[in-house]
Structure 1
Amino acid sequence: MKPFANALLAWFDEHGRHDLPWQHPRDAYRVWLSETMLQQTQVATVVGYFERFVEALPTLRELAAAPEDQVLALWSGLGYYRRARFLHRAAQLCVERHDGQLPRDFDALVALPGIGRSTGGAILAQAHGLRFPILDGNVKRVLTRYHGIHGHPGESAVEKSLWQRADTHTPTMRVADYTQAIMDLGATVCTRTKPRCGTCPLADSCIALRDGLVTLLPSPKPAKTTPTRETVMLVLRDARGRVLLERRGPQGVWPGLWSLPEAADVDAAWRSARQCARIDDAQALPPFTHVFSHYKLRIEPLLFDGATPTRSIADNAAPTPESRWCDTSELVALGLPAPVRKLLQNLEGHLA
């Protein structure tokens, strides 16, 4: 066993995480789902979502057969919704091409939507014990500090160097445990801030610790100014408490999710509202800001309470096939963007 892997596995046996829900059983579907959810999301957040997801859709075939709205509703709140759409489509392709199973061939696996080199390696290593390296954010941080590598890990040359080191350190035995171990070390010991170097099994050979570079590595991404965009969200609510929602298109932010109608400004919001319902007055609700990875969105909600749907949409239909009037019970089952769900929760007080 290689010294790096040997030290890491010895630490894992005593201090690693052995009771995560996707470890029991640790099959390919559950590993894939967990790895997809864990992209840019912490374990503490993912556990509850994972358990609800597999309770509703316990197998790959059931995921493939599920309506998109159900998948997005189960994902709602995790963010980065493209992950859920890729997950759904990849499951369908597995049914079409791979007899309802995730392929054990690496090239076939990473050809599926949303499965990159690291996720594919994690699936094969953890579910099948095959020797494939991984390089998620936690692993990048461990290797960057251990080897004293300067430069932002997202840069091509730096990432290539990290992949080479990840491959070198990956053992041929206990690959599943090693894969979990190095992720655990990055998540619980070699953390982004306040790392616990005194408890790290790799401390004796860590270049960053030796040279006093722990707080400087990994090198930060070059700073960019985060732009702010603005939108007015229309909260059209009728006398029955139903709210008008629109399904967003396949492009842009929140693709495929149900959201509130939007307008560029208050005047445009009034014009749009009058196309959907008879309205008398509007109330400006407190504005708030939602932060995305590349920009901030300042949202100004405008409540049109007591709106009367026009005669043609008085029942369940709405102005277009991609819009609908929904009551509280329906809202719970739909995929809604996190800020929209929060806004409606605050408005209704009891939306689950």
Structure 2
Amino acid sequence: MEPTAQFNDESALRLTTTASGGGCACKIPPGELENVVSELAGQDYDSVIVGLDDGDDAAAVRIQDGLAVLSTADFFTPVVDSAYDWGRIAATNALSDIYAMGGTPTVAINLVGWPRASLPMELMREVLRGGLDVAKQVSCPVIGGHSIDAPEPVYGMAVTGTAHPDKLLRNDAAEPGLPITLTKPIGVGILNNRHKSTGEVFPEAIEVMTTLNAEASRKALESGAKAATDVTGFGLLGHLFKMCRASGVDAVIDRSAVPSLEAARRSIAEGFISGGSRRNLDWVRPHLDIAATVTENDLILLADAQTSGGLLVIGEVPGYPVIGETVAGTGRVHIR
């Protein structure tokens, strides 16, 4: 379904200027977030398979033999000026948490914050239309939701899915001696930052952010993978470090093998770097071993705060690039 013509003119109203942040780059910094939630982990329920302890992509609760329910929620401020595309991106991103756990989404509800006094309700309809169209691609019903009058526009979804309890993709299940696969190129955070600053539109970034991780998840499971996460607001380095820390392994990354958008590399050189990406790098840097040939711009790209990024899978997934390998260790990331 195409967006209505009345609200498809990005020059008429720039959604990205209505919010202080944008996309997953507006997440609370990882260090601050962990300090807040650390005391909430460790809830003792026999049915909980995956909870707060390792900051995985979704919660997993066993409800009967052979069946687990997955639950997640994700929302953010506008990442592009097109309301319809923002809706598509936000829905793709929310569904990704279920795929990152090796699950199948079964139902979603909308989460909306909308400044009624400054943005037309018709524009909100375009956001919701975009989210609905993405969910339809994977036959996931979008049934209701919740909305509030808010100072900045916010949109996302709470998604429920299912999976086999013994076939989950977890961020604490990585083992040494395995390839590391990345299923989407990085750099969309840089391009979203440039889009917000200049109004330039990058179709390649929108294409990446609206590509569902359904196929990548299916192939990862078929290849026998046990560990995965999706790359979003904490960047490739942040999410890889979290996986290594939770699993008690190290990772060795070949920066030249990491797929990235050419326009993002150019934009970094021209100074379009989001604050979220810099915060990610500051947080993860103490846990990095960096080869002398790796530049600061390389690190910025690897720490770039992604919105609706790909899956980071421990194991080789057919059709996607291998970017490194896991080795025995204690949770460090080596970049060469």
Normalised TM-score (structure 1): 0.24
Q: Which has the larger radius of gyration?
A: 1
Pick the structure with more strand per residue: 2
**Higher helix proportion (structure 1 or 2):** 1
Structure with more contact order per residue of length (Cα contacts < 8 Å, sep ≥ 6):
2
TM-score (norm 2): 0.24
